[in-house]
Amino acid sequence: MPDILIPAGIVWMQGEADAHHSVAAADAYGEKLTTLMKLIRQALGDETIPVVLGKINRRPDQGAEPEMPYMQTVIKAQKLFAMKDVCAHYVTETENYTLTDDRWHYDSAAYIQMGQAFAKAMLNLKKC
């Protein structure tokens, strides 16, 4: 008998490119995020499947600030999505994670922390 996979939720850690590319991309982020999550939920057949978003991160102390000039626009859109959707949670502790030398990705310890934070948030949302 084949395995049957039952999706438990959506984990989303994206937005850096939109925050980097242009004002237009950053301004469109919120609408596109909402549309994408709606389409994924529809495809999975569950309009209330939990969504956990991770806050995009650029810490000035790591010299990465100018790479995402529209970061605050994307962050605002992420916050708004989570505020409007009772089955969504916004993980903000990512702002304390350490980036690698490329200043776009997290180090291994940060990915472990992120996974734990996302799992905790997802478990809390299972009640939605």
DSSP assignment of 7-59, as one string?
---EEE---HHHHHH-HHHHHHHHHHHHHHHHHHHHHHT-TT--EEEE-----
Interval 71-111: pLDDT, tens? 999 999 999 999 999 999 999 988 788 888 877 788 999 99
> What is the pTM for the complete model shown?
0.86
Q: How far apart are CA 58 and CA 49, in angstroms?
A: 29
Locate the domains of the chain by residue range: 10-44+52-125
Asked if residue 4 has pLDDT above 80, the reply is yes
pLDDT band at 54 (very low <50, low <70, confident <90, very high): very high
Q: Across 43-111, where does the E strand assignment appear?
A: 51-54, 88-91
10-44+52-125: in CATH 3.40.1550.10: no
Contact 90, 79 (CB under 8 A): yes
pLDDT for position 98: 83
pLDDT for position 61: 56
Other CB atoms within 10 Å distance of the CB of residue 67: 13
* Mean pLDDT, the chain, integer: 89
